[in-house]
């Protein structure tokens, strides 16, 4: 093991360093990897820690079941945290449902929540429906809400009706409204009228609702500024109407300064007459 570390420490070329690692890891059995990791844990040099992390990742990529079994016996520390992340991500790539079951069976709550977060992050890209289910099991907080909103955006962009129908069934009103606001904003790219209808009729007065309406107006203005302008004109006077008009005007100005200017002048004239 010391010989490995010396070779790696003396190699400054990144490409050669990677080739050395591949040579060292080639044909190692699970027992040999486990023994090597145990020896490396006793060496407190930075190079030993770096090699441990790469070796465990290689193991997880080549024999996930064995690596996961070894992880369960690892003492606490940075290497264990990284090992947990590696196993969670690779399990999620293999089978999201099984990965979630694995995480939920963990005896340590901190490990459980961290692994579920990693699995949910992977699910955002591949299966937002599963991701939402996983994220809803996480403790309330910014990290969970960010995951839910990202997933809603991904899902709504591909299948808006299914996404919105599913979100409507979330029992927690606070969570439901936050995710729904994100989803309808994403729908504003392709379905601004439907998105606007849902936002106006189903979201309560809140910051999320205001942000969603402005977001829909922005996306609508990129496609059809005249229709977006007609819509925001109907907003009641206040900060929301002002923000929506400002955003529509800014986007419209980029493509047609004359019409955007005429619209703003007409609005200002009407306001003065009122």
Q: Identify the pLDDT of residue 212.
A: 92
Q: Does pTM surpass 0.75?
A: no
Q: Identify the pLDDT of residue 150.
A: 79
pLDDT band at 143 (very low <50, low <70, confident <90, very high): confident
First to last CA, the chain: 83
Burial label for 47, CB within 10 Å (0-12, 13-18, 19+), is middle
Evaluate if residue 14 carries a pLDDT over 90: no
Q: What is the pLDDT of residues 100-126, one digit of tens each?
A: 888 888 888 888 878 877 887 777 667
Q: Identify the pLDDT of residue 131.
A: 74
- What is the distance between the alpha carbons of residues 101 and 212, in angstroms, rounded to a whole number? 35
Pick the range with the lowest mean pLDDT from 31-35, 47-51, 54-58, 193-197.
47-51
Evaluate if residue 3 carries a pLDDT over 80: no
Rg (CA), the chain: 26
Burial label for 233, CB within 10 Å (0-12, 13-18, 19+), is middle
Q: Identify the pLDDT of residue 166.
A: 86
Evaluate if residue 186 carries a pLDDT over 70: yes
Q: What is the pLDDT of residues 38-77, one digit of tens each?
A: 888 888 788 888 888 889 999 999 899 898 888 888 888 8
- What is the distance between the alpha carbons of residues 32 and 176, in angstroms, rounded to a whole number? 50
Tokens 């070894």 belong to 70
Domain coordinates of the chain in residue numbers? 39-139
How many other CB atoms sit within 10 Å of the CB of residue 132?
23
Summarize the confidence of residues 172-189 as an average pLDDT: 88
- What is the distance between the alpha carbons of residues 24 and 97, in angstroms, rounded to a whole number? 34
Long-range contacts of 223-226 (CB under 8 A, 24+ apart): 223/189, 223/192, 224/192, 225/251, 225/252, 225/255, 225/256, 225/259, 225/260, 226/259
pLDDT band at 2 (very low <50, low <70, confident <90, very high): low
pLDDT band at 1 (very low <50, low <70, confident <90, very high): low
Tell me if 91 sits within 8 A of 102, measured CB to CB.
yes
- What is the distance between the alpha carbons of residues 117 and 85, in angstroms, rounded to a whole number? 9
Q: Identify the pLDDT of residue 22.
A: 87
Evaluate if residue 127 carries a pLDDT over 60: yes
Distances (CA, A) of 200 to 24, 160, 207, 234, 238: 61, 17, 13, 12, 16
Q: What is the pLDDT of residues 216-245, one digit of tens each?
A: 999 999 889 999 999 998 888 888 889 989
Q: Identify the pLDDT of residue 124.
A: 67
Summarize the confidence of residues 9-21 as an average pLDDT: 82
Evaluate if residue 156 carries a pLDDT over 70: yes
- What is the distance between the alpha carbons of residues 224 and 192, in angstroms, rounded to a whole number? 10
Q: Identify the pLDDT of residue 152.
A: 79
């Amino acid at each position: 093991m010391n010989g490995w570390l010396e070779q790696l420490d003396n190699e400054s070329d990144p490409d050669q360093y990677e080739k050395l690692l591949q040579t060292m890891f080639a044909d190692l059995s699970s027992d040999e990897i486990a023994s090597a990791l145990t020896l490396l844990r006793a060496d407190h040099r930075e190079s030993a820690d770096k090699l441990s992390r790469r070796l465990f990742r290689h193991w997880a990529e080549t024999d996930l079941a064995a690596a996961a079994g070894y992880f369960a016996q690892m003492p606490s520390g940075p290497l264990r945290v990284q090992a947990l992340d590696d196993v969670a991500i690779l399990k999620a790539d293999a089978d999201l449902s099984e990965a979630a079951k694995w995480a939920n069976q963990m005896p340590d709550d901190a490990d459980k929540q961290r692994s579920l977060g990693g699995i949910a992050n992977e699910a955002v890209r591949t299966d937002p429906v599963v991701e939402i289910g996983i994220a809803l099991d996480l403790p309330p907080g910014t990290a969970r809400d960010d995951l839910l909103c990202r997933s809603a955006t991904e899902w709504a962009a591909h299948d808006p009706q299914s996404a919105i129908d599913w979100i409507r069934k979330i029992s927690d009103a606070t969570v439901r409204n936050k995710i729904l606001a994100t989803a309808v904003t994403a729908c504003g790219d392709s379905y601004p009228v439907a998105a606007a209808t849902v936002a106006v009729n189903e979201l309560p007065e809140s910051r999320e609702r205001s942000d969603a309406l402005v977001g829909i107006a922005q996306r609508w203005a990129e496609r059809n500024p005249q229709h977006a302008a007609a819509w925001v004109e109907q907003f009641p006077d206040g900060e929301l109407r002002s923000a929506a008009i400002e955003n529509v005007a800014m986007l419209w100005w980029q493509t047609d300064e004359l019409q955007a200017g005429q619209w703003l002048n007409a609005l200002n004239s009407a306001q003065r007459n009122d």
